[in-house]
Amino acid sequence: MSLNTADPQVVKTEYKAMLGEGPVWDDHEQQLYWVDILNGMLMIHDPERNENYRYDIGEHIGAAALRKKGGLVLALKSGFAFFNIGEQKVNPIADPEAGLNGNRFNDGKCDPAGRFWAGTMAYNLQQGAGSLYSLDPDQDVEVKITGVTISNGMAWNTDDNIFYFIDTPERTVYAFDYEEERGDISNRRIIKEFSRADGFPDGMTIDTGNKLWIALYNGRKVIRIDPVSGKTLFEIPLPVPKVTSCTFGGADFDELYITTARENMSKDEIKEAPMSGSLFKAKIPFKGKPAFRFAG
């Protein structure tokens, strides 16, 4: 039996990222933010006007999230920071890993209560060297998980009582009980383990039916899985191997924006997959919901 699938289209941004990541749809401005971690770039894609903007942040940028009061909160090599698009100014907030020069921030996302969660990893991929942090609206930082190798995809269910989290080299998707008011997580369990042939689970989002959409790095696709049964329900094949993350966007939240990478690829591999690093978009018969915004 074949799975239901959708055909992704490449989005014309004239930019191929080394490590495209962190797509987040701004439902107020109807535009997409995404980042190129290793080139330190923040990108905006405006599909309505068919315009693209690029901001050189000047250091590795793991993730960007929207603020309720406008502008962005970033997870940078140097820690958490605010970014104002108009002034193009980075304002540092806090660096929970100051002195840990071998680490950088990776994926990040806001929770239902408006905290910004972002995790770290070692450049040399040392096992367990990373942590997952949350930045509260009052700018206090809490450690949520330690011993993470590559802190990656995050999602919260529609009842705001389950948190999903990916540690990529473990090839594992975890679920935790989540308590919104304090932001506590507990009762970690495994909901999905991928095989070597699947590739590595990377970025993740969730739809209104509480099914997870997971980008498979070196897996050439995004899949929709049931977090209860672990079964794959839908897949989007990509013409490139390194599929890094995805998020819902568009006026009706029925388009999936997908980021990809071209890092660590040989000339022959790039020749076989020349669109590596591009942004893709697929119209799908499922819907997402607006991204949570940072409340500080």
* 269 φ, ψ (degrees, to nearest 5): -65, -40
Q: What share of the chain is helix, strand, coil (3-state, %, to 5)?
A: 5, 55, 40
> How is residue 19 annotated by DSSP?
B
Q: Which stretch binds Ca ion (CB under 5 A): 47-55, 88-96, 100-108, 137-145?
A: 100-108
Binding mask 257-286 for Ca ion (x = CB under 5 A): ------------------------------
- Candidates 107, 111, 207, 235: give the one binding Ca ion (CB under 5 A): 107
Which CB, 11 or 246, lies closer to Ca ion? 246
Q: What is the 3-state secondary structure (H, E, C) of 283-295?
A: ECCCCCCCCCCEC
Which CB, 20 or 79, lies closer to Ca ion? 20
Residue 213 · residue 256 · CB < 8 Å: yes
Which CB, 199 or 203, lies closer to Ca ion? 203
**Shortest Cβ 203–Ca ion spacing (Å):** 5
Q: Which stretch binds Ca ion (CB under 5 A): 49-57, 76-84, 147-155, 223-231?
A: 147-155
**Shortest Cβ 219–Ca ion spacing (Å):** 13
Half-sphere exposure of 90 (CA within 13 A, CB side): 21
**Alpha helices per DSSP H over 103-251:** none
Q: Is 131 exposed, middle or buried (0-12, 13-18, 19+ CB in 10 A)?
A: buried
- Candidates 103, 152, 276, 278: give the one binding Ca ion (CB under 5 A): 152
- Candidates 36, 97, 167, 202: give the one binding Ca ion (CB under 5 A): 202
Q: Which helix or strand (DSSP H or E) is residue 135 part of?
A: strand 130-135
Residues in touch with Ca ion (CB under 5 A): 107, 152, 202-203
